[in-house]
Amino acid sequence: MIVDPQTSASTETPEHPYTSATAPRDSEVQSATDNALMAVAGYLRLCGIQHPDVLRDQSHRILAMAIERGDEARTNETLVSDALSVAIEEMQRIHDQVAFHSIGCQGVIDRDVVNQRCVLALSQVMKDPVLLRDGESQQDRSRAYGQRHAVTVLPKRNDRPMRHNGTPQLMPVLRPQWWVTMVNRRFEQLALTLQAIVSPSRPSGESPTISE
Amino acid sequence: MSISMTRKCIALATFAITALGLWAYVTTIQTGGANVFEWIGAVLFGILFGWIAFSFAVATIGFLNLWNNPPTVRELPEDPETNAQLPSCAILVPVYNESPEDVFARVEAMYRDLVRLDAQDSFEFYVLSDSTDHEKWLAEQWVWSTVMQRLGSKAKIYYRHRSENIGRKAGNIADFCTRWSGNHQYMVILDADSLMAGETLVEMVRRINADPKLGILQVPPIPIGRQSIFARLQQFSAHAYGNVFVRGFSRWAGDQGNYWGHNAIIRIDAFRDHCDLPVLPGVAPLGGAILSHDFVEAALMVAANWKVKLADDLGGSYEECPTTLADYAQRDLRWCQGNLQHSRLIISDGFRLPSRLHFASGVMSYVSSPLWIAFTLACIAGWLFDGTASDLTWVQGYGQFALFAAAMMMLLVPKAYGYAITAKYQSESQRCKRNLAASVLVEVLLSILISPIMAILHTRFVIATLRGKKIQWNAQQRGEHGVSIIDATRQGIGFTLIGAALTIAIYYANPPLLIWFSPIIVGLLLSIPMIMLLGSQAVGNYLGRWGMLLIPEEIASPPLSENFKKAYEANQQAMAGQSGRLFRRVLDDPSFFTIHCRVLKASDADRPLSSEQRTQTQELAEGNVENIPVSERAQVLSDTELLQQLHVHTQMMSQSA
């Protein structure tokens, strides 16, 4: 559906009976299509799609669909409808604006701000119902939009993890192991007492173990 | 009286009352020989009587303390210079499929109150959304952007959406602590229905900042803003009797108090170091992940030698309550499982005794109902199998009647305490005192009628939980919506049938007992009309016009409530006509699209779909974005790249159409 300009040029035949009549119109259409492609690609880029292959494919796909839609309603002669050409013009204007602002701010301008400006202008083009409310001037709309978009969604992250707590154990008296330990200790003490009785000469300051 | 002395007094009083009651009970059942049911009844009686005695002792301490020290809310100094120098505090508003108009209206009201005090620079609001309903999610973003438009970009009100609701509210807060808590020293935790006055927020920061060992400062929230009779009952009870219990609790708990999950300020470093929720051994319902986090976090904090205190002298802390019995039951069902899980922690190592008592109180608030029912059944079985005896002593003859009277007294006297305190300090004219007395009577009467229904509901919840029924933690129904006759019949038919069966059984077994059982029977038999009546906003307002069940915040609305109403109206206007259209709007409206993408990026919630899923979605959206199934929209909204493609596609379609 979308024709490459060079390929298109090579397929044109001067002998064709309608050539003289159609040539200027074809080139007009071709130029409009190129403009549309560039505009769409530019907008996609501002939307965050940067990869050249994806940009090319998506631009072609979108424009093809737009034209298909147009074709359903109109004849091939009106390939680029009035609405689409207006949109393209506006998109180009936006690009100019964005470029101007970028240069004007000497490259300091934040990419988000560029995006926002682009989207602001686009909103106006696309008849954003919020921004185009009756009784609101252009200045009001711009201010409203600016306020809505100048806010910080969230501050910068400052990661500090929570310290993990393990599964709490039962109270010591409710644990069988605790009773085992207690009983062992009792036996140990009993053994020591018996040992003290059997060999009373051992000095009391020492702390003998059962293995001794 | 010192904390230690207060604790000793309460323990002694509880022990003495329980021992006396148990002695009288055992004496009465030995008449004609005690059978096994009577001994079971005696054990249950000991637990239940002890529980009532403890509550009574706490209320008495609270009453005595309040009688000498009025419950006046402190007049806080308004000092703009000091307010501007407060340390940084985050105010967290975790939300889960709530009404965005309500949530952001409360945030706006609190922000404006802080601006009035010139303290707004010290506070940053974080609305932490876990909403799973994509329409609610988008509505939150829409209302948030509208609020920011009203307040200007200087307002520090942030919005974050989590793609997965891991760990529910506790997980939501833990996520904040992990990612953003490094920017702040303290955090105030709110619920979606919480509202706090600027003065209170400032004072909370001052207090926690002044005490380096204070980990959590809880300000008791008071329910406000509802009109149905059921809501008015709760609001009035909290206002009239709440002071007595809160003061008593604060006296004995001291620095080892409790945390109720919201309207509290927390020291972030202490929280991060000690309050990660452990996983309980075993599986649900009593094991696994902890569902009810607040008590556990307070206990962990206390165990680590941090203070957890109750600021019972601070006002300006509000919440909203359920407006119908069904909504209340739904909330209780969720809390029931959470509280029952704490039974494992009562006997776990490492916690302090007061924390174990807080856990036990939570468990008993649900378990006491089935215990009362079991006790009643044991008594009936005991009577049936009991022999007859002659030559009864006074205790044997009238002991059970005296015990019943004592139990009722211990339940009703705290209400009299509350009436006395409120009448003394807050009701200046005779008319106010008359209205207060009438309100207390209405509240007592309705509470008696509701109590058997609540007892059956709690018993059902406890049994359902112990049987392992999975509890859904859905969003709460917070609005005023009344109860239709169909819903009331559906909810109340079971209670009515139980009441009818009980009436017939008692009539045939022992007709004179009907008088004793009348409070239980009447409540059950009238459950259907009562459920309707309790949920009625019109009847509630009618009572309000007569000065009944009113609270001071209704008589003189605080500026905070007025700000909330204005902001709520503005939010409703912003949302007018948007319902059900916001998904389309993300794709149609470049400004909303940008907001959505920024939220995704800032929340770190971008979850790309697989290439197959993307292709499928794009094919569906080719003709019309509305073709994307509702169940998949939340996923689509979480994939920035796909959204970009769909957005551009929609833009181009709208131009070529």
pLDDT (0 to 100) of residue A132: 35
What 8-state DSSP symbol labels residue B510? -
Do the domain assignments include residue B624? yes
Q: How far apart are CA B475 and CA A21, in angstroms?
A: 69
Q: How far apart are CA A36 and CA A66, in angstroms?
A: 10
Tell me the two tokens of residue B191. 């619920």
pLDDT (0 to 100) of residue B173: 95
Neighbours of B451 (CB within 10 A): 16
Select the residue of A66, A164, A169 nearest B652 (Cβ to Cβ). A66
Residues 6+ apart with CB under 8 A from A59: A37, A40, A41, A44
**pLDDT band for position A108 (50/70/90)?**
very low
Please answer yes or no on whether B652 and A40 come within 8 Å at the CB atom. Answer: yes
**Residue B512, phi then psi, degrees to nearest 5:** -60, -25
Please answer yes or no on whether B590 and A122 come within 8 Å at the CB atom. Answer: yes
CA B489 to chain centre: 26
Query: Is residue B267 within a helix (H) or strand (E), and if so which, with residue range?
Result: strand B264-267
Please answer yes or no on whether A122 and B651 come within 8 Å at the CB atom. Answer: yes
Q: How far apart are CA B631 and CA B583, in angstroms?
A: 12
pLDDT (0 to 100) of residue A66: 61
Residue pair B217/B189 in contact by the 8 Å Cβ criterion: no
DSSP letter for each residue of A88-102: HHHHHHHHHHHHHHH
pLDDT (0 to 100) of residue B508: 82
What 8-state DSSP symbol labels residue B495? H
Please answer yes or no on whether A66 and B656 come within 8 Å at the CB atom. Answer: yes
Q: Give the mean model confidence (pLDDT) for residues A130-134.
A: 39
pLDDT (0 to 100) of residue B286: 83
Q: How far, CA to CA in Å, does B544 sit from each of B17, B233, B238, B427, B538?
A: 39, 11, 16, 16, 10
Mean pLDDT score across all residues of chain A: 59
Look at strands B317-319 and B195-196 and give their pairing.
Answer: antiparallel
Look at strands B186-189 and B264-267 and give their pairing.
Answer: antiparallel
Residue pair B297/B291 in contact by the 8 Å Cβ criterion: no
**Residue B46, phi then psi, degrees to nearest 5:** -60, -45
Q: Tell me the three state secondary structure of residue B581.
A: coil
Strand partners, B90: B124, B187
Q: Give tens-digit pLDDT for B128-137.
A: 999 999 999 9
Select the residue of A66, A119, A172 nearest B594 (Cβ to Cβ). A119
Q: Give the mean model confidence (pLDDT) for residues B556-581.
A: 91
Residues of B in contact with A145 (CB under 8 A): 591
Q: Give the mean model confidence (pLDDT) for residues B402-421.
A: 91
Neighbours of B631 (CB within 10 A): 8
Among residues 183-202 of chain A, which lie with CB inside 8 Å of chain B? Answer: none
Residue B631's nearest CA partner among B647, B644, B613, B619 is: B613
**Lowest mean pLDDT, pick from A200-209, B424-433, B545-554:** A200-209
Q: What is the largest CA-CA distance in chain B?
A: 102
**Lowest mean pLDDT, pick from B121-135, B382-396, B402-416, B616-630:** B382-396
Do the domain assignments include residue B648? yes
Do the domain assignments include residue B605? yes
- Would residue B322 be called left, alpha or beta, if left means φ above 0 and alpha means ψ between -120 and 50 degrees? beta
Q: Give tens-digit pLDDT for B30-40.
A: 776 778 888 99
Q: What is the largest CA-CA distance in chain A?
A: 133
Look at strands B279-280 and B288-289 and give their pairing.
Answer: antiparallel
DSSP letter for each residue of B187-225: EEE--TT-EE-HHHHHHHHHHHHH-TTEEEEEPPPEE-S
Q: What value does the CA radius of gyration of chain A take, rounded to a whole number of Å? A: 40
pLDDT (0 to 100) of residue A47: 56
Here the ipTM equals 0.75
Query: Is residue B298 within a helix (H) or strand (E), and if so which, with residue range?
Result: helix B294-303
Residue with tokens 């959304």: B129
Instruction: With a cut of 70, say whether residue B73 has pLDDT above it.
Output: no
Residue of B nearest to A159 (CA): B179
Instruction: With a cut of 70, say whether residue A200 has pLDDT above it.
Output: no
Instruction: With a cut of 60, say whether residue A88 has pLDDT above it.
Output: no
Please answer yes or no on whether B589 and A155 come within 8 Å at the CB atom. Answer: no
Query: Is residue B319 within a helix (H) or strand (E), and if so which, with residue range?
Result: strand B317-319
Residue B198's nearest CA partner among B104, B321, B79 is: B79
pLDDT (0 to 100) of residue A25: 54
Per-residue three-class SS string for B345-365: HHCECCCCHHHHHHHHHHHHH
Segments making up each domain of chain A, as ranges: 5-109, 172-204
Please answer yes or no on whether A150 and B153 come within 8 Å at the CB atom. Answer: yes
Q: Tell me the three state secondary structure of residue B155.
A: coil
Q: Give tens-digit pLDDT for B78-130.
A: 666 677 778 999 999 999 999 999 999 999 999 999 999 989 999 999 999 99
Do the domain assignments include residue B641? yes
Residue B320's nearest CA partner among B620, B648, B133, B568 is: B568
**Residue B246, phi then psi, degrees to nearest 5:** -65, -45
Do the domain assignments include residue B348? no
Please answer yes or no on whether B180 and A69 come within 8 Å at the CB atom. Answer: no
Residue B527's nearest CA partner among B485, B491, B486, B503 is: B491
Per-residue three-class SS string for B365-426: HHHHHHHHHHHHHHHHHHHHHCCCCCCCCHHHHHHHHHHHHHHHHHHHHHHHHHHHHHHHHC
For residue A104, the number of C-alpha atoms closer than 13 Å in the C-beta half-sphere is 7
Q: Give tens-digit pLDDT for B259-290.
A: 999 999 999 999 999 999 999 988 878 888 89
Instruction: With a cut of 90, say whether residue B50 has pLDDT above it.
Output: yes
Neighbours of B186 (CB within 10 A): 25
Do the domain assignments include residue B220? no
Length of chain B as a residue count: 657
Neighbours of B115 (CB within 10 A): 15
CA of B592, closest CA in chain A: separation in Å?
9
**pLDDT band for position B468 (50/70/90)?**
confident
What 8-state DSSP symbol labels residue B627? G
Burial of B513: CB neighbours in 10 Å, binned 0-12, 13-18, 19+: middle
Tell me the two tokens of residue B30. 């030995």
Residue with tokens 């009628």: B449
pLDDT (0 to 100) of residue B405: 87
Do the domain assignments include residue B592? yes
Please answer yes or no on whether A147 and B603 come within 8 Å at the CB atom. Answer: no
- The vertex-B473 CA angle with B472 and B475, nearest 5°, equals 120
Mean pLDDT score across all residues of chain B: 89
pTM for this predicted structure: 0.80
Q: How far apart are CA A120 and CA B487, in angstroms?
A: 50
Instruction: With a cut of 60, say whether residue A209 has pLDDT above it.
Output: no
Look at strands B307-310 and B279-280 and give their pairing.
Answer: unpaired
Exposure class string for A91-121: b at 16+ Cβ within 10 A, else e: beebbeebeeebeeeeeeeeeebbbbbbbbb
What 8-state DSSP symbol labels residue B427? -
**Lowest mean pLDDT, pick from A123-137, B352-366, B395-409, B454-468:** A123-137
Neighbours of B445 (CB within 10 A): 11
Look at strands B89-95 and B123-129 and give their pairing.
Answer: parallel
Q: How far apart are CA B390 and CA B398, in angstroms?
A: 14
Residue B592's nearest CA partner among B94, B143, B107 is: B143
Among residues 115-154 of chain A, which lie with CB inside 8 Å of chain B? Answer: 115-116, 119-120, 122-123, 126, 128-131, 144-145, 147-154
* A21 touching chain B per CB within 8 A: no
pLDDT (0 to 100) of residue B113: 94
CA of A144, closest CA in chain B: separation in Å?
6
* B222 touching chain A per CB within 8 A: no
Residue B586's nearest CA partner among B141, B238, B242 is: B141
Residue pair B291/B341 in contact by the 8 Å Cβ criterion: yes
Q: How far apart are CA A36 and CA A70, in angstroms?
A: 14
Instruction: With a cut of 90, say whether residue B367 has pLDDT above it.
Output: yes
* B297 touching chain A per CB within 8 A: no
Do the domain assignments include residue B101? no
H-helix segments, B159-293: 168-179, 198-210, 229-240, 242-253, 268-274
For residue B462, the number of C-alpha atoms closer than 13 Å in the C-beta half-sphere is 22
Q: Give the mean model confidence (pLDDT) for residues B390-405.
A: 70
**pLDDT band for position B391 (50/70/90)?**
low
Residue with tokens 């920035």: B640
Residue A120's nearest CA partner among B643, B594, B652 is: B594
Q: Tell me the three state secondary structure of residue A51.
A: coil
CA of A106, closest CA in chain B: separation in Å?
25
Structural domain that includes position B640 = 582-656
Residue pair B265/B205 in contact by the 8 Å Cβ criterion: yes
Please answer yes or no on whether B591 and A169 come within 8 Å at the CB atom. Answer: no
pLDDT (0 to 100) of residue B129: 96
H-helix segments, chain A: 5-11, 19-46, 52-73, 82-104, 111-125, 138-150, 176-198
User: Number of folded domains in chain B?
Assistant: 1
Q: Give tens-digit pLDDT for B207-249.
A: 999 999 999 999 999 999 899 999 999 999 999 999 999 999 9
* A63 touching chain B per CB within 8 A: yes
Residue B267's nearest CA partner among B201, B317, B209 is: B209
Strand partners, B265: B188, B217
Instruction: With a cut of 60, say whether residue B593 has pLDDT above it.
Output: yes
